[in-house]
Amino acid sequence: MRKIPLGRTGDQVSQLALGAMLMGTSTDEPTSVGMLERYLDAGGSFIDTADCYAWWPGPDNTGGESEALLGRWLAKTGKRDEIFLATKGSAWVRDPEPIRSGDGSWETMAAQWVGAGGDTLRRAIDDSLRRLGTDHVDLYYVHVDDRSTRLEETLGALAEIVSAGKARYIGWSNVRTWRLERVRALAEKNGWPAPVAVQEEHSYLRPKAGADTLSIVDDELTDYLRANDDLTLVAYSPILKGIYDDPAKRDGHQVMRWYAGPDADARLAVLTEVAAELDVTPNQLVISWLLHRTDPELVTLIGPRTPEQLETALAASDIKLPAEQLDRLDTAGA
């Protein structure tokens, strides 16, 4: 599995990262462990989780299950030094019940997030390290940008976390480009660690005009990343809940509200054609297309729930896209 630079840190990370979001809840422990071992055997080393994973699969879940499972696996195998480990704080949910019984909207969830206050992050990283059974993570994200807390407070706490050796690098997720620039400017002004990674939703479909792109890569962020190679994009939800393989699934699917329209239709048509020519699935082709990105180069973060889904994604990393087909995919659209 190919590795790429993480910003200008000097570290190399797997271009295909493994998300552990559902490990320990929707995916049981033996299956999760098998998937972790299979990913490492395939040459992967970049594992991503968060303290709030995953409160939503059932009423007995509160968050922390994924980190706890990873901690047990690391303690049993002694493989901590073999992986680049990332986790996140700020989106721990105070009380999941209002979200489970409500509309599940972004606004409903945001009202329950603990946020990125200094004391909150200091407690969160200590709790994450305890569950993970390690003295540090390699990358620590602000999971959801918190505008109710002064950035100076958040960055100051993150600087303390890095200085204490509890995290090697910091990142930001679900953040607008103008806020990311403000974060970086404040970090430079005060001599604090700046983000080396930004984690956003990114796929083959492009957000439609007027879409709320807080959590989705848009043209502005792409341009910003091209101009700032010290910042690496980690692209989550690359296959958008698996909608590419199944027209019936994407018809009316909630994820399509940000993408549906003439441009999506045109790109889906070309994607389907090229997938048939290569005898691969559209989902696999999307992952391969992302792995072929060089402007900017990025990490593709997969979140398989089953071993079969993991195998499908790993196979995508072996697909070689001829220049003509890559150009057709790149230029497709309304």
Confidence class of residue 105 from pLDDT cuts 50, 70 and 90?
confident
Higher pLDDT: 86 or 102? It is: 86
Pick one of 3.40.50.150, 3.20.20.100, 3.30.230.10, 3.30.70.890 as the CATH number of 3-245+293-319: 3.20.20.100
pLDDT at 213 over 80: yes
pLDDT at 110 over 90: no
pLDDT of residue 3: 97
3-state secondary structure the chain: CCEEECCCCCCEEECEEEECCCECCCECHHHHHHHHHHHHHCCCCEEECCCCCCCCCCCCCCCCHHHHHHHHHHHHHCCHHHCEEEEEECCCECCCHHHHHCCCCHHHHHCCECCCCHHHHHHHHHHHHHHHCCCCEEEEEECCCCCCCCHHHHHHHHHHHHHCCCEEEEEEECCCHHHHHHHHHHHHHHCCCCCCEEEEECCCCCCCCCCCCCCECCHHHHHHHHHCCCCEEEEECCCHHHHHHCHHHHCCCHHHHHCCCHHHHHHHHHHHHHHHHHCCCHHHHHHHHHHCCCCCCEEEEECCCCHHHHHHHHHHCCCCCCHHHHHHHHHCCC
What's the mean per-residue pLDDT of the chain?
Answer: 96
pLDDT at 33 over 80: yes
Average pLDDT of span 255-265: 96
Q: Any idea where the domains of the chain sit in the sequence?
A: 3-245+293-319
Q: Which of 53, 141, 169, 204 is catalytic?
A: 53
pLDDT at 103 over 80: no
pLDDT of residue 108: 85
Share of the chain above pLDDT 90, in %: 93
> Mean pLDDT lowest for which of 63-72, 91-100, 307-316?
91-100
pLDDT at 104 over 80: no
For the question of residue 53 being annotated catalytic, the response is yes
What is this structure's pTM?
0.96
Average pLDDT of span 97-107: 81
pLDDT at 67 over 80: yes
Confidence class of residue 320 from pLDDT cuts 50, 70 and 90?
very high
